[in-house]
Amino acid sequence: MKTRPHPWWQQSTVYQIYPRSFCDANGDGIGDLKGITSKLDHIKALGAEVIWLSPVYQSPNDDNGYDISDYRAIHPEFGTMTEFEAMLAAMHERGLKLVMDLVVNHCSDEHPWFQQARTSRDNPYHDWFIWREPVKREGEHAKHREPNNWESVFGGSAWEWNEATGEYYLHMFTRKQPDLNWENPELRRAVYGIMRFWLDKGVDGFRMDVINMISKPYGPEGTLPDAAIRHESRFLQSGFWMSCNGPRLLEFLREMRREVLDHYEVLTVGECPMVTVELAAEITDAETGALDMVFQFEHMDVDTRRGTPDGKWALKPLELPELKTILNRWQEGLAERGWNSLYWCNHDQPRPVSRFGDPAYRVESATMLATCLHLMRGTPYVYQGEELGMTNVPFATIEECRDIETLNFHRLATTERGWTDAQAMASIRAKGRDNARVPMPWNDGPNGGFGSAAPWIGVHPDYREVNAAAAVADADSVFHYYRRLIALRKEHPILTDGRYVPLIPDHPHLFAYLRELENERWLVVCNFSGQEEALDLPDTVAGRVGELIIGNLGGSAGCEPGRLLLRPWEARAHRMEAAANMRSTETRRAK
């Protein structure tokens, strides 16, 4: 295999900050830029080299900043532009790069563009959004006049009535997040201008919010076709499905690359729900694509009964072979072309320890999950608090929750869909986005050291035990294990360049794979269970298990020839020693 030239982001680890919940310097209960600046050494000590900052722009906060009303202004609750520039300088001084969130599938209904657009059909900004006439329907559907049957991602119709123009506008998220019309070249030019504004300030790239939703599937005469309910029997939330991966997506992204990205040294990652491996390869192709990597979502659906009306809230136990099938397919699918991003969580997802591990084995399962992910090929992302092994939050009542998606779900589920409050709360504890949004616990002091005032959302009840100060002081903590994994990636080209070879895909509890580069081979084995498990090395794996490179439990339960014993939630990476006349896995597999 060819060793590829390394763009800087291929050996780096990205750390995600959710600004509202990271650190509150001025004591108003809301995280802010000065707070972030004061905690950069934590990220530096971890070894991450890039920071992805969720939105800090002017916003009415209907969706916590993902509804932007001024793309060139800092929200006063986070600070000022001067403080932003000071934060960026402090990052660069430490060799940290900053990737901003770019949210341009939609803006806020309070953005001047939309304020103008909604006044009249003749307003020049009208065409920057997506408008449709009401539709006459017959029979039992007569009272529905929405242009089509699309549902918003957060529940309810994706269309909202606008009296002044006598039309509906499309909003794939809340009604305060109208979708922008990328068919309009003026709108696209305005977006590129915003991107240049931040890049010229010195930011180092963009994470692009739902960027594969910007091209809508227009039919003849600009119609937006009804979605087939149960498309591929997976997604009932079919407006969501319909608005992803549209026909002009690559064209728009390539234009963005030509107009903006090619002129800067940046990292770009596109958030792409429902993206396929094939499309991701096209988007991330170094020559003909447009972005460096995408966030795919398939592995975020393994514990969800998609295709039911309750979407992500309908829980399903994890089946490890399904998770392996997905991640193996992404590893192999982007091996020759494109590049993977690697993540277990972000500000939209519950905590991985509670989801794929076991809070009763908090440290063990957090470090096992980290090993499994960080030794794959791609750029790893660590979401604030993940490096502490944080768990989900035991929300008892809906009053403790803040997220608009969660509040919508609770209301619709208990009023229209026949869920009890107890059932809804159980799903919210398992899947709600607020699990990841409670304040970062810095120490065991008041409010977990987040700030002097009561925070906008309650602190995690475990903060006295699980906090950054305790983790940094304990050499065996989750934090120090992440630090070692992040350092390993910098030291060993096999992690960046090596081939990924999945093993034992059907094993119900073990996730195992090889990494291979030239004569070097590593074996990675992770136990996704609370039981001891034995791995009998398949005879396709030539050679002997050698030196332990990294392991999360210290010591070793043992290793007989051809057999590896794994303790509950144990993860290990070993160097393989070549057997005398070893044939490569490749030739064996080819037979």
Residues annotated as catalytic (active site), given as ranges: 209, 271
Q: Does 210 bind ligand TEU (CB under 6 A)?
A: yes
Amino acid 167 reads E
Please report, for residues 54, 321, 408, 423, 545, the alpha-carbon distance to residue 405 in angstroms, rounded to integers and kept in the order given.
17, 30, 5, 16, 48
Return the number of the residue (182 or 456) whose C-beta is nearest Ca ion. Answer: 456
In angstroms, give the least distance from the CB of 234 to ligand TEU: 14
Q: Find the binder of Ca ion among 7, 28, 417, 423 (CB under 5 A).
A: 28
Residue 26 binds which one of Ca ion, ligand TEU, none, with CB within 5 to 8 A depending on kind?
Answer: Ca ion
Task: Compute the Cα dihedral for 425, 367, 498, 324 and give only its sign.
Answer: negative
Closest approach of Ca ion to the CB of residue 248, in Å:
41
Pick what 24 binds: ligand TEU, Ca ion, none; C-beta below 5 to 8 Å, kind-dependent.
Answer: Ca ion
**Shortest CA distance to 208 belongs to which of 302, 99, 118?**
99
**By CB under 6 A, is residue 312 in contact with ligand TEU?**
yes
**Shortest distance, position 451 Cβ to Ca ion, whole Å:** 6
Window of 24-32, 279-287, 352-360, 551-559 that interacts with Ca ion by CB under 5 A:
24-32
Burial of 517 (0-12, 13-18, 19+ CB in 10 A): middle
Residue 548 CB burial class (10 angstroms; 0-12, 13-18, ≥19): middle
Instruction: Report if residue 83 touches Ca ion, rule: CB under 5 A.
Output: no
In the bound state with ligand TEU, the residue whose beta carbon lies nearer, of 170 and 210, is 210
Q: Which positions ≥6 away from 298 have C-beta within 8 Å?
A: 326, 330
| DSSP assignment of 278-325 | HHHHHHH-TTT-S-SEEE--GGGSTTB-TTSTTGGGSB----HHHHHH
**Minimum distance, C-beta of residue 25 to Ca ion, in the bound complex (Å):** 6
Task: Choose between 98 and 172: whose C-beta lies nearer to ligand TEU.
Answer: 172
DSSP notation for 89-131: HHHHHTT-EEEEEE--SB--TTSHHHHHHTT-TTSTTGGGB-E
Binding-site partner at residue 273 among Ca ion, ligand TEU, none, CB < 5 to 8 Å by type: ligand TEU
Residue 368: CB minimum distance to Ca ion, A: 35
What is the contact mask toward ligand TEU in residues 145 to 184, using x (rule: CB under 6 A)? Answer: --------x-------------------x-----------
The DSSP secondary-structure symbol of 444 reads S
- Could you give the CA distance from residue 567 to residue 155 in angstroms, rounded to a whole number? 43
C-beta closer to Ca ion: residue 36 or 281: 36
* CA angle (450, 300, 514) in 5-degree steps: 105
Total interface residues for Ca ion by CB under 5 A: 5
Give Cβ neighbours of residue 174 (< 8 Å, ≥ 6 apart). 62, 63, 67, 152, 154, 404
d(CA 390, CA 373): 17
Residue keyed to tokens 């304040």: 439
Q: Which is nearer to Ca ion, 26 or 443 (CB)?
A: 26
Q: Under 8 Å CB-to-CB from 491, ≥6 apart: which residues?
A: none
Residue from the set 15, 16, 21, 32 that interacts with Ca ion by CB under 5 A: 32
Check binding of 556 to Ca ion (CB under 5 A): no
Asked if 301 interacts with ligand TEU (CB under 6 A), we say no
The reply to whether 17 sits near Ca ion by the rule CB under 5 A is: no
363 binds ligand TEU (CB under 6 A): no
- Given ligand TEU, Ca ion, none, residue 14, with its beta carbon under 5 to 8 Å by kind, binds none
State residue 549 phi and psi, 5-degree precision.
Answer: -85, -45
Distance of closest approach, residue 273 Cβ to ligand TEU, in angstroms:
4
| Of positions 167, 209, 497, 570, contacts ligand TEU by CB under 6 A | 209
- Cα distance between residue 422 and residue 428, in whole Å: 10
Among 63, 301, 434, 497, the residue binding ligand TEU under the rule CB under 6 A is 63
Judged by the rule CB under 5 A, the positions of this chain that interact with Ca ion are 24, 26, 28, 30, 32
Task: Using CB under 6 A, list all residues that contact ligand TEU.
Answer: 63, 66, 103, 153, 173, 209-210, 271, 273, 312, 347-348, 405, 433
